[in-house]
Every structure is written in C-alpha cells, then in structure tokens.
Amino acid sequence: MMAKLTTRNERFQIDFTQQPLSNFFYQQSGDSELSNSLLRIDNAWLAKFINHARLTVLIACESIKDLTVIKLLQNQADKGVRIYLLIGDETQSKTAIDMLSGRCLIRTGIKQQGTLMLRDHVTLQAHGFLLTTNDVFVDDQAQSQAIKLEPMQREDCYRSFCKLFWEQATYEYLEHNKQQKAVVNPDSNIVANHSHHLYGTLQACLTDSFSSLKAASGSDFNSLNTPTRLLLSTNSKLIGSKANDGVALTESNIPNILFSDDGDWLLPDTPDFSVTNWCLKLSASQSKQMIEAFELAHDNAAWQFKLNAILGDIPSQQAVRFGDQPRSILTVQQFSSEHLNDVYTDTIDDFFAKSADELALHATRWQRDRLAHYVDFSVKIHPPYCPQEAKKDALYQDWQHAEDDWQRSLSTLESLQNTINQQQKSIADSLKGFIKGFLLGQGQSVKQFEKELEALKAWSVTAATPAEREAYRNRLTNFHQGLQQRKTETSVKLDEAKQHQHWEAKKSTLKTELDQKAAVAAQKQASFKQKNDAREEALKQAEQNFMASWQKVSASLNEKQLEELAIPTDEALQASLLPKDKRLALSNMTILQAKNWKNTIKEKVWRKHCQAFAQALNNVDEANKKIERDIQDAKKALENSHLQHQQAEQALVAHGEIFTYKPNRPSDAFDKQLGLKEDNKDQVKFVWPAEELPSNQTELRQYKQQRYLVIDKKEQLEQAQKDAVRLNAKIVCDKEAVDA
C-alpha cells in the first residue's frame, strides 16, 4: 500500500561564527560621567544660591515656572535684593511675571538656550554659574549641569547680560503685571567683551573651532573636520551618522563640549545658533580639567565602537548596538533556536530532492536579530500546492465527450439491432412462408451480434491505449457494417416476401375480376336482346295509348269548340261539315295526321284551345324516345361489358404465370429514424482528443492558462513526471490532502 504524501518537518543547524560584523558598539561592564569638571545642581542648590545673595541676583533663561524658585526670588526681592530677570518665553513664565513684576526688574523677548546666574557681581563675594539647561527653573525635581565662572568670565557674561537686557529685550515690567515696551538704557551703549553670547552670533564665533575640532562630547555639530574622538549619549540622534572609530556611547547625561586647537567650549545641551546661547569658552585650567574628565569618560564609556569583527570573536551574552540601528540593543548567544515560517517549494522535484537548509536559504541568511554562534532551525517544508481556484482540466470533458460519443454510437447501433430484430419478429405469418429459410439463418447471427455489442459497450475509451482504441474502432466499424448488411438483407427479404404476397393476391384478384366481367357481359347481352325484341310491341302500345287519349280529348270538345276548329279536308266541304263530322274526323286521326293538323293551326290558337291535344302528342313522343333510349343504353352497356372482359383477360395474361422479384432502391427510412447521417452509414468515425489523459491515480487541473497535475503519493511521481512533460503541467498536491 502506497503511503500518503505529507509535509516535511525538518531540523538543521547553521554555524554563524564566521559571520563578519562591522560598525557596531559593544557594551563594557561600567560607565563614567564628566563629573569631575561640572556641577550637578538641583532645587536645593538653587535655593542656597539665591538665599545667599546680599545685593543682586541676575538670571537669564528661557522660562521660569517652578513655584519654589519664584517664591525664593520673591522673598529676596522683598528683603531688598535687586533682582534682574531676562526671560525668553512670556507665556511659559506667566506665573513668575505675575508674582515678581513690581518687585524685580523683568525684561522679556530674548529667546535663550542654557541659563546664566550671577550673584552680588560687584562685590568680593561675587559668584556666577552657567547651566547647560533651563530645567531646574521649570521642574522642582529636575537637575542641570553647571560650571562655575571665573572672574573674567563673570565680567564677560555680565556685560553680555546687560547688553541683552537693556538693548535687545522687547518688553519690560516696571509695575506689577504691567507690560510695556522696553526702554533703552539712556546712559550709553553697553560694550560686550565677547559676542558669542549675543543673539544669533554663536555659529560664527565657533567657525575656527569647528575647523580645528579634535574631540567632542554630545555633538560635533556636523563639523567638516571630523574629530578623532567623540562621546555621545546613547539616546543621541546622531549615532547613526557618527558611528566610527573614536566614537563611544555613554548612558550618562553629558554636556556639549568641543575640544579644538582654537579653544575648548561648553555649550547648552540643545544649542540653537539662531538665538542667544549661554555658553563658555573654557579657560586653560578649565580645559585641562575638562580634557582629563573627557578622556576618562570616553575610555570608560559603556559602549565602545568596533569597526570589524567576526561573530565568533564576540563572547556569549555580549550586548551590542549597530551604528545604523543604535536604539536596538542585541545580545550575542552561543546557541539559539528558531522556527521558520513554512517553506513552500516551487516544484515537486525541489520538495523531494533539496535539503531543508537549501530550501530555507532565503530565511536563514544571517540577520542582526539572530546574534548567535549556532542557530538550530525548525521548518515545515510544503510541496507545491494546486490553487484552490483551479478546476478540472477541459481535457477530461473532451475525453468524456469521446466516451459519450462512443456509447451514443453503440446506443444507435443497439437501436438499429433492436429495430432489425423487431422487424423480423413482427413479420406477419402470411409473409414468413415466403422467407422461411432466411429467418432460420438469422438466429445464429443475432447471438453473435449481441455478444459483440456487449463487448463494445463494456470497453472504455478513456482507459484504453491508442492502439486499443484503433482496434476497437475497427471492431465498431465492422459491427456497424455487419448491422447495415443485416438491415439491408432483412429489408430486401421482407420486400421480396411482400412483393410475392402481393403478386399472388393480385393474381387471385385478377382471376376473380375476369369471372365477374364474364358474368356481367352475359347479363348485359341478355338485357339488350330482351329490350330489342320488345321494341315493336312497345311502339304499338304507345300508339294505342295516344289514340285513346286523343279520342278522349276529341270527345270532350263542345260544339262551339268544334265549330271554331278547322279540320283538314276540301275547302268546298269545310263549311258544310257538321260538328259531329268534325269530331269523328278528329277521333280517327293517326299520329302523323295529328302532327300535320297541328301544323295547320296558328300557334296562338293551338296554345289557347288545343292544350289537351298537345299533351297527347307530347306523351306519345316521350314514350317513343324512351323506348329508343332504353335500347341504346342496353347496347352501350353490352359493348362496355365486352370491353371490360377483354381488359380483365389482358391483365391476367400481363400478370404472368410465375413470380419474379424486382428489387427496389434501398430505403433510408431506418437511418433517418435512428439519426444515421449519409456520410457515416458505411463507417462510424471518431476523432479522439489530441492529448492523452494522465494516469488515473492523478488529476489534471487548470487555472489562468496554467495546468496542474495533482498527486498525493510519492510513488506516483515517476509517471506524473512523464505526464507533466507531455501535458505541459506543473506537478502539485492538494493542500487539504497533504497538510491535513
């Protein structure tokens, strides 16, 4: 028994230890900050700074929102400390302006990055700090990094503050919550020591530093001169574009510091070259301290860059970040396992012949999220499947039509066979005697024909080879020709029997008719003789009937009527004749005399006075005519009977003494009845489909001009491959059958 074809569940391992890696950061065990060079200040430190002020407090920042800071400034102002506030965003600082205007001198309209704080700047107790953010003035939980200003730096920042405050601010608040346009200091223009604090000037001031940049922390601001060392925060958006040798990543907060041949700079965390930036060009001592801190932080940063390596060189459990995907932290594993998406093979040969790792090659290529020295893969391999929309190929229908045509032809021939059998069975007993020998010979033929018909009906067109089809087509042709011959012979014999029967019946009829005609002729001869012999007697009887009628009319005339009538006689005697003499003369007239007398009388008088005489003459004329007419009719009947008797004798002679069969033209009535056309009477023709069906263990389907040969067992493959080539089909499986 052949096993059903199923999907392949495979497992295999791939060694990725030689996989090249490039441009990635690997994680060290520790991390460091620039803690030795900068202060980290919070809300408590800020309160201490403000509360220690004795004369003045100068603050320049983008906004003040923290209520604790606002109250600290309010308390100091109420104690007499002069407080100057240069604020950028009025809207964000609305509460501070509301609580401090009237107490502090507030000016607004200068957008800023970073923060400047000066305390008692004209005293020996002066202090100044630059903060890299504005966070501690906004959120009481925030912290900011700061650097303490040296005396000269305090003076520079103070002058910059004054210039911005008095000359570039937009609005001022001298009274409580009352905004007015800022008034320029009337004394004189303020001269700044440096311009890099002023509005929109920082980028130009950093041009030389950017061109000679050596190292940077936070950002190199896309300098054309790439620094040899760069320290970035792990959340920096610049990592992808900056990843290279000399770049390290730290998970700590770091400031923006630039190291260059033109000096070192501390910049706000988010500098904006179009506004004011509270930044600092470091002094020599500050630079020295900052460089030492930077080098320590760079070397000990959590993430170090590596340009090239192979995966096997990276130890297990090592965390890495790739330069183009720095947000994604991956861990190298020694071993990992992965279940791949199912693989659907394109051809049945691929399914049986190719290994799982070869078939799944597109899915097992190294990927960054597959950071393991060895990966165990599991996968399900599917054979090619037949589209669900595919339908059984039209070739099956073509062959079914051929099968139907075969069976239809057999049905036609079977009907012909039955018709012939029925025709022979229904022959009248009166005819069977004429073809008794023929009917006896048909019994064996019927058995042979029925046996051959059953064999032809049991044979299948689609299950046969081409050679078998040709052989059976010849058998069907011979069977058809045999039936046609049997039909023809039956028709001929039946026609011969009918002709013979008709000939005998006609001969008997002709004899009977001859006897009948002879009897009729004898009867007509006797009738004519009788009428002809009685002619004289009949004429006498008619004359006697006339005389009686004529005399009766003469006797009925009165004297006046007689007087008015002229009787044929001598004119001399006409006047002396008495009425009785006239009556006597009239009574004694013969038929001829009566007719002559009638001609002597005027027509008008005859019609008026002699109607009875006219009737007597008419009656005798009609009687004589009838006598002559009856004799003529009898004579004609006699002559006609003699003619018919002669014709009957001639017909019997013409019919002949011995029957001779005269074949008629073969009739096509049976062919028309059975649907046999003229061109296939002699031979049944079949045109088989041009292509053979595949093995009956497989099925051919089609979808969108593509053929599919469906198998479900491996043992079917060899034959299916031959069929697929012949039928230009792709070997596939049914998904429901294979992946059940």
Instruction: Tell me the pLDDT tens digit for each residue of 15-27.
Output: 999 999 999 999 9
Confidence category of residue 330, pLDDT binned at 50, 70, 90? very high
pLDDT tens digits along 331-351: 999 999 999 999 999 999 999
pLDDT for 186: 63
pLDDT reading at 10 higher than 70 = yes
Residues 635 and 542 in one domain: yes
pLDDT reading at 618 higher than 60 = yes
Confidence category of residue 446, pLDDT binned at 50, 70, 90? confident
Residues 236 and 370 in one domain: no
pLDDT reading at 681 higher than 60 = no
Q: Is residue 233 in some structural domain?
A: yes
pLDDT reading at 432 higher than 80 = no
Residues 170 and 82 in one domain: yes
Question: Torsions phi, psi of 261, nearest 5?
Answer: -70, -20
pLDDT for 693: 92
Residues 607 and 561 in one domain: yes
Q: What is the DSSP string of 167-209?
A: II--EEEEETTEEEEPPPPSS-PPPPS-STTSTT-HHHHTHHH
Residue with the bigger pLDDT between 578 and 492: it is 492
User: Which of 456, 504, 447 is closest to 478 using CA atoms?
Assistant: 456
Q: Is residue 672 in some structural domain?
A: yes
Q: Is residue 469 in some structural domain?
A: yes
Residue 17 lies in domain: 8-21+333-381
pLDDT tens digits along 391-404: 999 999 999 999 89
Task: Dihedral sign for Cα 406, 407, 412, 418, please.
Answer: positive
CB 410: neighbour CB atoms within 10 A? Answer: 20
Confidence category of residue 674, pLDDT binned at 50, 70, 90? very low
Confidence category of residue 279, pLDDT binned at 50, 70, 90? very high
Which structure tokens are listed for 717? 């493959």
Please state whether beta strands 171-175 and 178-181 pair in parallel, antiparallel, or not at all (unpaired): antiparallel
Q: Is residue 355 in some structural domain?
A: yes
CB 107: neighbour CB atoms within 10 A? Answer: 22
Residues 78 and 109 in one domain: yes
Residues 159 and 282 in one domain: no
Confidence category of residue 558, pLDDT binned at 50, 70, 90? confident
Residues 706 and 730 in one domain: yes
User: Which of 168, 264, 176 is closest to 216 using CA atoms?
Assistant: 264
Residues 116 and 137 in one domain: yes
Question: Torsions phi, psi of 94, nearest 5?
Answer: -60, -40
pLDDT reading at 679 higher than 50 = no
Instruction: Give the CATH number, domain containing residue 103.
Output: 3.30.870.10
Pairwise CA distance, residues 146 & 128, whole Å: 10
Q: Is residue 551 in some structural domain?
A: yes
Judged on CB neighbours under 10 Å (0-12, 13-18, 19+), 449 is buried
pLDDT reading at 50 higher than 50 = yes
Pairwise CA distance, residues 737 & 710, whole Å: 11
pLDDT tens digits along 620-637: 888 888 888 888 888 898
Residues 307 and 287 in one domain: yes
What is each CA distance from 152 to 57, 159, 267, in whole angstroms? 18, 11, 18
User: Which of 130, 128, 92 is closest to 111 using CA atoms?
Assistant: 92
Residues 134 and 254 in one domain: no
User: Which of 559, 617, 552 is closest to 587 using CA atoms?
Assistant: 552
Residues 60 and 174 in one domain: yes
Pairwise CA distance, residues 58 & 161, whole Å: 8
> Which range has highest mean pLDDT (232-246, 265-279, 484-498, 534-548)?
265-279
State the average pLDDT for the chain: 88
Which structure tokens are listed for 393? 């190929």
pLDDT for 486: 79
Q: How many domains does the chain have?
A: 6
pLDDT for 682: 45
Radius of gyration (C-alpha) of the chain in whole angstroms:
73
Domain boundary among the residues 151, 181, 211 is at: 181
pLDDT for 542: 82
Pairwise CA distance, residues 426 & 603, whole Å: 82
pLDDT reading at 573 higher than 50 = no
Pairwise CA distance, residues 220 & 573, whole Å: 192
Contacts 24+ apart (CB under 8 A), 530-534: 530/634, 531/630, 531/631, 531/634, 532/631, 532/634, 532/635
pLDDT for 521: 86
Task: Dihedral sign for Cα 649, 651, 655, 656, please.
Answer: positive
Please give the share of the chain, as a percent, with pLDDT higher than 70.
Answer: 93
Q: Is residue 646 in some structural domain?
A: no
Q: Is residue 652 in some structural domain?
A: no
pLDDT for 671: 52
pLDDT for 435: 72
CB 80: neighbour CB atoms within 10 A? Answer: 8
Q: Is residue 396 in some structural domain?
A: no
Residues 16 and 28 in one domain: no
Residue with the bigger pLDDT between 573 and 199: it is 199
Confidence category of residue 375, pLDDT binned at 50, 70, 90? very high
Instruction: Give the CATH number, domain containing residue 306.
Output: 3.30.870
Q: Buried b vs exposed e over 134-164: b needs ≥16 C-beta within 10 Å? A: bbbbbeeeebbbbbebeeebbbbbbbbbbbb
Residue with the bigger pLDDT between 668 and 259: it is 259
Confidence category of residue 668, pLDDT binned at 50, 70, 90? low
- Residues 550, 552, 555, 556: what is their CA dihedral angle, to the nearest 10 degrees? -110
Pairwise CA distance, residues 108 & 170, whole Å: 6
